[in-house]
């Protein structure tokens, strides 16, 4: 299938469910061509592939698979052209106090949430530099990276590291007109927050000035704006979308 003239090619990790799926649908509706992957395919992702056969490709791929990532990016570029932007959305959160958290789980969070992001971004940046037309990098961080949360010390560390990666890479790529930003959502219902009890979730809602959890539709408009030409001078920022809980 040929690349549509004027469309921009984005890589989206973790596009099979939750926030990633919401972003995928918005991006496709806006006319982007999107290559996405996730650890497993879902019926919802397959629906997107069926509905947008000329502008969406997806497959099952673990972000820890370095060779798989390289192949995925090569095949995506072959289909849709050089990469304009990447949205790093893949992440895992494993709940547990540090003293008893298994080392294998610590290593897994570091591998997925940091190493995988860096590896995918590196591949995307090479394509952006080859195209020499600027670009956008969006990292989906978390309020937990700035505020912390009991039992999520390692996850918090990975998200704080992601924000540091954002700031430094923004300095590195600014002269090439490639912006790099993080979006840090507040608490919202996801597979990762499923370990929180109803009383914990209720406490979070009460502490949030907007008196509710975040919704996927709260995040997608900001992502679309940061991808747009109107946001070309915004870079190196971690933007919280948290209903005011961090005030």
Residue whose structure tokens are 């992601």: 162
Nearest Cα neighbor of 236 from 166, 137, 141 is 166
Q: Decide: 91 and 112 in contact? Cβ < 8 Å.
A: yes
- Collapse the DSSP code of 123 into the 3-class scheme (helix H, G, I; strand E, B; otherwise coil) and give the result: helix
155 is catalytic: yes
In the set 32, 84, 149, 155, the catalytic residue is 155
Residue 127 structure tokens: 């394509």
Rounded to 5 degrees, φ, ψ at 182 are -110, 140
Residue 181 pairs in a beta bridge with: 138
Would strands 135-140 and 85-88 be described as parallel, antiparallel, or unpaired? parallel
Catalytic residues: 155
């Amino acid at each position: 299938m040929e690349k549509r003239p004027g469309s921009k090619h984005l890589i989206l990790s973790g596009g099979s469910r939750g926030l990633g799926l919401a972003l995928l649908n918005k991006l496709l509706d806006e006319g982007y061509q999107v290559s996405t992957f996730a650890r497993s395919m879902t019926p919802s992702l397959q629906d997107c592939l069926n509905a947008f056969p000329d502008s969406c490709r997806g497959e099952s791929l673990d972000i820890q698979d370095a060779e798989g990532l390289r192949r995925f990016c090569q095949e995506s570029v072959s289909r849709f052209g050089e990469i304009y932007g990447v949205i790093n959305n893949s992440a895992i959160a494993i709940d547990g106090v540090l003293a008893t958290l298994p080392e294998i789980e610590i290593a897994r969070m570091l591998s997925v949430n940091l190493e995988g992001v860096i590896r995918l971004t590196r591949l995307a940046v090479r394509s952006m530099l080859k195209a020499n037309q600027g670009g956008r990098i969006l990292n989906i961080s978390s309020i937990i990276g700035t505020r912390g949360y009991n039992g999520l010390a390692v996850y918090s560390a990975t998200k704080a590291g992601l924000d540091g990666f954002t700031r430094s890479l923004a300095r590195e790529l600014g002269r090439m007109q490639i912006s790099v930003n993080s979006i840090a959502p507040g608490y919202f219902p996801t597979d990762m927050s499923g370990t929180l009890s109803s009383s914990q979730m209720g406490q979070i809602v009460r502490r949030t000035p907007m008196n509710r959890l975040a919704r996927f539709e709260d995040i997608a408009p900001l992502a679309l704006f940061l991808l747009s030409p109107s946001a070309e001078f915004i870079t190196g920022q971690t933007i919280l979308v948290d209903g005011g809980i961090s005030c």
